[in-house]
A = this chain, B = another copy of it.
Amino acid sequence: MTDQPDLFRFELLATEGEARAGTFSTAHGLLHTPVYAPVGTQASVKAVTPRQLKEVGATLVLANTYHLYLRPGDELVACLGGVHTFMDWHGPMLTDSGGFQVFSLAGARGQKGLRTLDDDGVTFRSHIDGSTHRFTPERVMEIEQNLGADIAMVLDECAAPDNYDYSVQAMRRTHAWAERCKAAHSRPNQALFGIVQGGIFPDLREQSVRYLTDLDFPGYAIGGLSVGETKAQMLETLTVTAPLLPAHKPRYLMGVGTPEDLVEGVARGVDIFDCVLPTRVARNGQALLRTGKANLRNARFTEDPASLDPTCACYACQHFSRAYLRHLIIAGEILGATLLTIHNLHTMLTIMREIREAILAGGFADYRAAFWEARR
C-alpha cells in the first residue's frame, strides 16, 4: 500500500490518568498529540497566511469537505496537486466528511425540506447558489480522496444529542455508512477515521464503539458532541466513551473547543481537537487570554499601552498595544482580524503544547489545576 511502513501508527509515549501524549504518523509528517487543529474551511485559515500559521505553532490543519466540494470543487483541487499544495500547507491535514455542514448549513436557511436524508445518503442544496447536490458514503470518499488530506472522516449522521430514538437511528445509519466508506476508500496515504455516535446515552456510545472498532479504523472520532447538549453532558459522554476506544488508536473530538475544552478533553482521553472558535471570535475582536477572554471593543482598552497578554510570545503581543488592536477592530481594519487570529491560535497551540509537555513530565494534574486557578 505504501513505502512508509509506520504510516498511521499511533505511538503512546506517556499517559497520566486518561490523558495521553503520543505521536501519529502521517504522509506529511509525525503529528505530536494531543493536538489542536486550526480550521481552514475554504482552504484558508481565515485572516492568516500559511507562514503565519506555522509561526504560531500549528501542525495539523482542517479543511471542510462540504465547502471545497462546492467551491472550487474537489476535482479542481486534485488537478492542482491536492489540498496541501493548493493552500501551501505541507504539514498534516484533515478533512471532515461534509455531513455536519450538510445537516447544519445546507437547506437549513428556512428551507429544511430541501435537505432529504435517506439510508443511501443525503440530498441538499448549496448555501452558495441553491443548486442541488447529493452526498453518499461513496461520493464523500471520492471527494475526500480528491482533496487528499492525511486524515479523512467517514460520512456520519449527527442526531439531536438528547433524543434516544433518533440517536439509535442515526447511530445505525452511521454504522452502515462507515462500512460503505471503508469499502469505498482506497487512497493509501490517507487514514480514514470512524465516527462514534450515540448522543448522550452511554449504552449507545458503547454499542457504537464496539461496532466501529470491529471495522478497525486507524483512528476514531467521538461525534455528535458540541451540537446542543450541555457542557456537563459533553464531558460526561467523553468520560464514558473515550476509555472504551482502543488505546493504540488516536481519538478525535470534532468541532471542540475552547481552551477549557482542550484541558478537560485531554483529561478524558482525547488526542485531537479542531474548532473555529479561536479564529471566529478573533474577527469579532475577542482575545483568548490565560485568565479568560477579553473583548477589545470594550472602552477600557482605549488608552491601554500594554500588550494583549504580557506573557505571550506571539507577533501581536510582541509588537502592538491593546489600544492599537482596539483601534484596528473599531476601525474595521483587516489587520485587527489578522493580529487577533495570530494571538488566539498561538494561545490555543501553546496551551496544547504545554499540556503535552505536562503529560510527558507526569505533571498534567498540576497543570490542569493551575489552568483553572488562573481563570478563577
Inter-chain CA distance A48–B52, complex, in Å, is 12
Among B50, B327, B339, contact of A43 (Cβ-Cβ < 8 Å): B327
Inter-chain CA distance A21–B301, complex, in Å, is 44
Among B50, B86, B302, B315, contact of A72 (Cβ-Cβ < 8 Å): B302
A372 within 8 A of B: no
Among B44, B320, B327, contact of A88 (Cβ-Cβ < 8 Å): B320
Q: Give residues of chain A (96-132) contacting chain B, Cβ–Cβ below 8 Å.
A: none
Contact indicator A87/B324 (Cβ below 8 Å):
yes
Inter-chain CA distance A273–B326, complex, in Å, is 30
Given contacts A76-B303, A315-B51, whether A42 and B324 have CB atoms under 8 Å apart is no
Contact indicator B46/A319 (Cβ below 8 Å):
no
Q: Give residues of chain A (305-339) contacting chain B, Cβ–Cβ below 8 Å.
A: 305, 315, 319-321, 323-324, 326-328, 330-331, 333-339
Contact indicator B302/A339 (Cβ below 8 Å):
no
Contacts of A51 in B (CB 8 A): 315
- A: number of interface residues (CB 8 Å): 39
Min Cβ gap A90→B in Å is 10
Inter-chain CA distance A87–B327, complex, in Å, is 10
Among B42, B46, B72, B321, contact of A80 (Cβ-Cβ < 8 Å): B321
Given contacts A86-B324, A303-B79, whether A71 and B330 have CB atoms under 8 Å apart is yes
Contact indicator A80/B323 (Cβ below 8 Å):
yes
Inter-chain CA distance A315–B334, complex, in Å, is 19
A47 within 8 A of B: yes
Contacts of A334 in B (CB 8 A): 44, 46-47, 334, 337-338
Min Cβ gap A113→B in Å is 27
Contact indicator B42/A323 (Cβ below 8 Å):
no
Contact indicator A76/B302 (Cβ below 8 Å):
yes
Contact indicator B46/A324 (Cβ below 8 Å):
no
Given contacts A80-B321, A302-B76, whether A328 and B44 have CB atoms under 8 Å apart is yes
Contact indicator A42/B331 (Cβ below 8 Å):
yes
Q: What are 26 sample pairs from A and B whose C-beta atoms fall under 8 A apart?
A: A42-B331, A43-B324, A43-B327, A44-B328, A44-B331, A44-B333, A44-B334, A46-B333, A47-B334, A47-B335, A48-B335, A49-B315, A51-B315, A71-B327, A71-B331, A72-B326, A72-B327, A76-B323, A79-B303, A80-B303, A80-B305, A80-B321, A86-B321, A88-B320, A88-B324, A334-B334
Interface residues of A (CB under 8 A from B): 42-44, 46-51, 71-72, 76, 79-81, 86-88, 302-303, 305, 315, 319-321, 323-324, 326-328, 330-331, 333-339
